[in-house]
Structure 1
Amino acid sequence: MTPRILRSWWSFPVTVVIIALICAGAWMLVQGFSDEQSTVEDDAQIQLEEPPDKAEVEDMQIEALDGDFQVPSVGLDTGLESMTEVNGAINPPGLHNGYVVRNHGTPDHPERGTTYVAIHSVQGAELPGNTLIDVDAGTAAVETGESVTLQDRDYTVTDSYTVSKTDISGDDRVWADEPGRLVILTCLQRASGRSADNVVIEAVAN
């Protein structure tokens, strides 16, 4: 079975890993605002474009995890849950927490391989995932050398880059399985228009 990465606003098949991340497959239920206007603060105004149905959420087996997901340099400090990829897609049901992907990488033994964390970002919103991106610069907001905490493990950022959503499935940088490696996935939003790229932040355990 081939994985896919669900991205903001649309999805595409991949040939490397079954990972589908709708990082910002969401839209704002706000009338009368241009893409450049105002930010959305009410979750009721945000809706995933392809929300998982009840059966899919049950199959994800969402579980709360102890500890937090923190990137102090950008002010990200949120909770963690774990989820299973379902039907070739990683589509977190919530907007605020980070989601450790249970059936990809080695999250139960992070010292042995890569741990993947998916978090939503949404255009014009103030969500935890949005702190990871610099919309004006078109890059990640997190720089090399900055710290990340995932549960009780500390990491140092080693790289961050954007990957076109049409190319990410074959990008060996993203899917490399390496001991003590952390990969954070979200979508790079734009001031206007749909997200066309993913942001990938890599870190290594201290």
Structure 2
Amino acid sequence: MTDRRSSIWWAVPVAVVIIALLCAGAWLLTDGLTEEESTAESRSDVELEDPPSKTEIDEMKVEALDGQFQVPSVGLSTGLETMSEINGAINPPGLNNGYVVRNHGTPDHPERGTTYVAIHSVQGAELPGNKLIDVGAGKPRVRSGETITLQDRDYTVTDSYVVPKTDISGDDRVWADEPGRLVILTCLQRSSGRSVDNVVIEATVDQ
């Protein structure tokens, strides 16, 4: 039908493409720093190359969520916010939290479908999203069987993989809406040059 299903499938690829671009679209404010000063601490001073405007942030209706986003195996522990996709784009306004996307999947009823969480990673930085990726190996650091905590629910990782940004919009593995499923999206950064791949981490809620 030109119905709801059609419109959803048109919206999803646009959102995915923009996620891919904006995860990579950040830069470190290290100009003028000595090598010693350019430490992990100074590298937390990062700006998005294409930050959302104040109007866009208002339309996202960003709200804090109770609970934490934790992946103990890689040392990730950060806060959570929720946001809406606007104008076909998922562009989290911050770099330090995970963002539950309220208008994809079924985040209000996680037991009924997929919950999507987007988090930025940045080349050369030490941010929460960077803990999910192994730049040198070119793959996710999170493996099957490991635990993710999202708010008051624990999930077990079932898969983690890399998808080229050019292919992710048509990858049925990513966009399947299945009960109790969690999908974490970030970018696989490289030692130099723009990110060309996404990291996808899938998990299922513990019973």
**Interval of TM-score (by shorter of Structure 1 and Structure 2):** 0.7 to 0.9
Alpha-carbon displacement from aligned partner over 1:139-176 (angstroms, at most 9, x marks no partner):
00001000000000000000000000011000000001
* Contact persistence 1:28–1:40 (CA under 8 A): no
- Check if 1:66 corresponds to 2:66: yes
Tell me the equivalent position of 1:89.
89
CA distance, structure 1, for counterparts of residue 24 and residue 93 of structure 2 = 12
Once residues 133 and 167 of structure 2 are traced to their aligned partners in structure 1, the CA distance between those partners, rounded to angstroms, is: 19
Change (3 A) 1:40 1:87: farther
Shift of 1:186: 0.2
Identity %: 73
Deviation for aligned residue 1:23: 2.1
The residue aligned with 1:168 is 168
How much does 1:188 deviate? 0.2
CA distance in 1, matches of 2:182, 2:59: 24
Question: In 2, distance between residues paired with 1:79 and 1:163?
Answer: 26
Structure ranking higher in helix proportion: 2
CA distance in 2, matches of 1:110, 1:89: 22
Aligned residues: 192
Q: 1:3 aligns with which of 1, 11, 18?
A: 11
After superposition, residues 111-126 of structure 1 pair within 5 angstroms as: 111-126=111-126
| CA distance in structure 2 between the aligned counterparts of 1:170 and 1:39, rounded to whole angstroms | 39
Partners of 2:113 and 2:180 within 8 A in 1: yes
Q: Quick one: structure 1 residues 44 and 126, their matched pair in 2 at CA, closer, same or farther if it must change by over 3 Å?
A: closer
Cα shift at 1:27? 1.1
Residue of structure 2 equivalent to 1:143: 143
The CA RMSD measured in Å over matched residues stands at 1.9
Deviation, structure 1 residue 46:
1.4
Q: Distance in 2 between matches of 1:145 and 1:172?
A: 22
CA distance in 2, matches of 1:143, 1:32: 38
CA distance in 2 between counterparts of 1:180 and 1:42 reads 38
Q: Which runs of 5+ in 2 are unaligned?
A: 1-6
Runs of 5+ unmatched residues, structure 1:
5-13
> Is 1:41 aligned with 2:38?
no
Give the structure 2 partner of residue 31 of structure 1.
31
Cα separation, 2, equivalents of 1:160 and 1:198: 11
Amino acid in the other structure paired with 2:105: G
Once the two structures are TM-superposed, the CA of residue 130 in structure 1 deviates from its matched residue by 0.3
How big is the shift at 1:32?
6.7
Cα distance, 1:30 vs. partner? 2.3
Asked whether the equivalents of residues 138 and 190 of structure 2 are also in contact (C-alpha less than 8 Å), the reply is: yes
1:13-56 deviation digits (Å, cap 9, x = unpaired): x26xx4442223201222378xxxx5553367411111000000
Residue 182 in structure 1 maps to residue 182 in structure 2: yes
Between Structure 1 and Structure 2, whose CA radius of gyration is higher? 2
TM-score relative to the length of structure 2 = 0.87
